[in-house]
Structure 1
Amino acid sequence: MPVSGSDSRPTARRRPGRCSTGPTRLHESAAVTLVGCIGGGQLGRMLGLAGLPLGLRFRFLDPSPSAPAADVGELVVGAFDDPVALARLGAGADVVTYEFENVAVASVVQLGALPPYRALELGQDRLVEKEMFRRLGIPTARFGSLAETGLPALVKSRRLGYDGKGQRRLDADEVISDHELAEEIVAFDRELSIIAVRGTDGETRFWPLVENAHRDGILRVSRSPVQGAPQAEAEELAGRLLDELGYVGVLAFELFDVGGRLLANEFAPRVHNTGHWTIEGAVTSQFENHLRAILGLPLGATGAVGSSVMLNLIGGAPPSEQLLGLPGAHLHLYGKEPRRGRKIGHLTLVGADEETVAETLALVESAADG
């Protein structure tokens, strides 16, 4: 029987409020077959792999002719902001989505893509994002000017930046530009994230919280379940955000646990690296539920099926035969050329209990680091 992997079981509920419904034809016909996706990276690839068993077809837009998602659908080669390429992507598509948040809002508006453009617009500016959290009563670290945060502080670019890029530590007073945001450096106990999905009818489901470990700004490991996880509180905070955005699809919400108090870090309006464990570790993966949500289909159960650890393979990977020989191991390679600091795949370990999974992880963790 699926278990939640936390002290508080992930819940499903129908929420009132705004709800973006997407194209009306999704509700007029059951013959929804073609999904367009802005971006053809590994996230698009895993969306495609999740949707093929559902009878869905995929078309991806990516500037690279060797994009990872090319193996699972049609590829339109072009820039993400090219109106002609965008029109080709959307031609005949029943719904369009996107796999990364740095896509131009205008592109999402042009195609009527889901999640709704407002989530993208608010999430692309860290200051606007933090101000929204404050307005919704979602706790955060102090942010704004150095006078508000004190020193030392973390200075981040307001726009763009991922995997630790676009941020720096500041130990002495200096003038920061209008394009930057200062944030208080928080002495957190652990980094957590919760993956949520919201359907066109407002139904919302949550996966169990995961604990994440980063190095050099890049996610290395995600673990579920989390002992003593504040699941109910995380769901309540994420639910406020989903309802405010009239959200449709999967959303990742990153949090700091500071002495049992949750502080919001950021959200990503898309499927997310910290949810990769759900492919084998949950009843329904984040990728399948994202597709269900944007197509107006019933959402799947989100309970865990045991203990899981997801390890990113960065820069390179041990031989596949070595990894696949491990108990409970599931290997995902993205078809990307190895390069220092590059995510080329991930390994998920699933077992009956945390101890078994931790022992297996110890066998591969050092060898897998790039």
Structure 2
Amino acid sequence: MKVLVYGSGQLAQMMYLAAAPLGVIVSAVDVFTETVVDPVSKKPTGVSLSQAIYDASAITIEFEHVPEHLLLEADKSGKLYPNVASILAGADRVREKVLLSKNKIPNCDYLIINHVDQLDGVVAALGEKVIFKASRDGYDGYGQWRISTAAELLALRHEFSLLDLKKVPLIAEKMMQFEREISLLGARSKDGRVVCFSLAENLHHEGQLHVSVAPITKLSDTLQQKANDIFATLATSMEYVGVLAVELFQCGEELYVNEIAPRVHNSGHWTQQGCSTSQFEQHIRAVLGLPLGSTEVIGVSAMVNIIGCTTFNRDLIGIPNVHLHWYGKEVRVKRKMGHINVIADSHANLGLKLKQLIEFLPLEHFPKLEGEATRLQKSSGFVY
């Protein structure tokens, strides 16, 4: 069996590594050159894209911003999972909002801005604290603007007037006073079976994910079930096949969808060592029509992103149950270079293990880690 992945970054590489033990061959597509490459070495395979499509048992994506003509070409084969509509919903915040509204899924109050004159009504409708998001091509905090006062909106008006808002509208969202950001990853099979992973708690810095912890602290059966129900509603509505990520805001016992990602996701990397089946293997299983795997957790996990940094001590892998995943990229600011998975038997012991990890890292590149380690040490969460 062969799987062709559109996109040739670290997610394709990790799908390749998860698929190999199943006897599944994964190739990737550099979508900028439309060249079929090896997911690890990134070297061209010499196989044409049309031949790779023909040879594939299934075709999938590692990120949602694949050029639309490539998606439509892949869709003609009947092998593309998830489907084009699902991918486009994840790539376009306007379509995403329509999907959430159609399925009555709670999300942030918002306005769609396709002309600067519409800015005049934003504060009256949403209040002074607003986040503006480009409807397409935004990620890791890019394509976002925040205001806390009406005066700040006036300052943004000129910048927005230079954008083509007809082509790429803005979503203006009311800033919610949420308790924490969490995410749920799950999978839906071709026959409609849905399985979900445990909720993960996510810490961001400058719009970029830095640390995920799963299961979340203070996890209740009610909260997990609410998240599972949201996932099942969305996945079934889209006739989705594969792994889907749903990012959520928690306000008390209520959950609001922030955004979705129609693919394996950074906040699910903890599953590589923290679950019976990783998100990457689960996605391969789903798109090939194989039985979905168990999502039972193995202890308590933290995933720590390595961002814009190579100057850490690799002796950190000497700490028991600490695992380094390196992507092999050239370093640059805000670039995800790799991640570290840490496993423990309780949240408190996970905090202790993160304190050990800190000794091997330049903390200026890991601004959320020490605070999270301290928080977890004080936790009375799960013991496995």
TM-score in terms of structure 1 length: 0.84
RMSD of aligned alpha carbons: 2.2
Q: Does 1:69 align with 2:59?
A: no
Give the partner amino acid of 2:262: P
Q: Does 1:122 align with 2:122?
A: no
Q: CA deviation at 1:141?
A: 1.2
Query: What is the distance in 1 between the residues matched to 2:346 and 2:210?
Result: 21
Decide which of 216, 236, 259 is 1:226's aligned counterpart: 216
| 5+ long unaligned stretches in structure 2 | 113-121, 366-384
Q: Which residue of 1 aligns with 2:308?
A: 315
Q: Which residue of 2 aligns with 1:305?
A: 298
Q: Which residue of 1 aligns with 2:281?
A: 288
Residues 141-220 of structure 1 correspond to what in structure 2 (within 5 A)? 141-144=108-111, 146=122, 147-170=124-147, 171-172=149-150, 173-174=153-154, 177-178=165-166, 179-220=169-210
TM-score in terms of structure 2 length: 0.81
Query: What is the distance in 1 between the residues matched to 2:363 and 2:322?
Result: 14
CA deviation profile, 1:103-123 (whole Å, cap 9, x unmatched): 123322211321111101222
Q: Which residue of 2 aligns with 1:355?
A: 348
Query: What is the distance in 1 between the residues matched to 2:184 and 2:308?
Result: 27
| CA contact 1:61–1:75 (8 Å) conserved in 2 | no
Q: CA deviation at 1:242?
A: 0.3
Q: Does 1:367 align with 2:344?
A: no
| 5+ long unaligned stretches in structure 1 | 1-32, 78-83
Residues 158 and 226 (structure 1), Cα distance of their counterparts in 2 relative to 1, 3 Å cut = same
Q: Does 1:242 align with 2:235?
A: yes
CA deviation profile, 1:165-222 (whole Å, cap 9, x unmatched): 0000123245564511100011111000000100000011000000000001110000
Query: What is the distance in 1 between the residues matched to 2:309 and 2:14?
Result: 19
Q: Which residue of 1 aligns with 2:74?
A: 111
SS of corresponding position for 1:70: coil
| CA contact 1:314–1:368 (8 Å) conserved in 2 | no
Shifted more, 280-289 versus 143-152: the winner is 143-152
Q: CA deviation at 1:368?
A: 5.5
Give the partner amino acid of 2:23: G
| CA contact 1:255–1:266 (8 Å) conserved in 2 | yes
Paired residues, number: 331
Q: CA deviation at 1:66?
A: 12
| CA contact 2:321–2:343 (8 Å) conserved in 1 | yes
Query: What is the distance in 2 between the residues matched to 1:140 and 1:339?
Result: 34
Residues 341 and 117 (structure 1), Cα distance of their counterparts in 2 relative to 1, 3 Å cut = same
| CA contact 1:41–1:68 (8 Å) conserved in 2 | no
Decide which structure has greater helix share. Answer: 2
Identity rate of aligned residues, in percent?
37
